[in-house]
């Protein structure tokens, strides 16, 4: 398995969605900058565990305007990020992993087809 450092834009898209859509019931809300930094750090930790590489700090903008508006595309970016960030032993218990799971759950449960689907099968 090979892994890479996700682009800044990739990380910013996930962080922005999480901060704006997934924290409404959280008692400790992350800022966009904190969420982006967490995702970046987790990706770097994965690559360090896999390859022993060091990475330069990420430059996080004060404001970021998302460009992905398709939920399936964003869900795939979550899967891609998770694949890149899972190379260390702490991934499953990490806050970044929980963030990714939260994004995917929110994307699915807020899609119109989800609301139209039956609750139970007879």
pLDDT of 117: 84
**pLDDT over 90 (residue 120):** no
- Per-residue pLDDT, averaged over 23-51, amounts to 94
**pLDDT over 90 (residue 1):** no
Higher pLDDT, 78 or 28: 78
pLDDT of 57: 92
Record the pTM: 0.91
pLDDT of 122: 78
All structural domains of the chain with their residue ranges: 8-114
**DSSP notation for the chain:** ----PPPHHHHHHHHHHHHHHS-TT-SSPPPHHHHHHHHHHHHHHHHHHHH----PPP---S--------HHHHHHHHHHHHHHH--STTGGGSHHHHHHHHHHHHHHHTSHHHHHS-SS--
Give residue-wise pLDDT tens across range 23-32: 988 888 999 9
Give residue-wise pLDDT tens across range 92-106: 999 999 999 999 999
């Amino acid at each position: 398995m090979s892994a890479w450092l996700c682009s800044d834009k990739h990380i910013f898209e996930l962080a922005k969605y999480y901060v704006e859509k997934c924290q409404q019931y959280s008692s400790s809300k992350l800022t966009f900058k904190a969420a982006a930094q967490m995702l970046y750090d987790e990706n770097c930790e994965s690559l360090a565990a896999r390859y022993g590489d060091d990475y330069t700090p990420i430059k996080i903008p004060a404001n970021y305007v998302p460009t992905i508006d398709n939920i399936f595309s964003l869900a795939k970016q979550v899967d891609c990020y998770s694949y890149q960030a899972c190379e260390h032993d702490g991934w499953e218990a990490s806050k970044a992993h929980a963030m990714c799971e939260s994004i995917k759950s929110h994307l699915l449960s807020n899609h119109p087809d989800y609301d139209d689907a039956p609750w139970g099968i007879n």
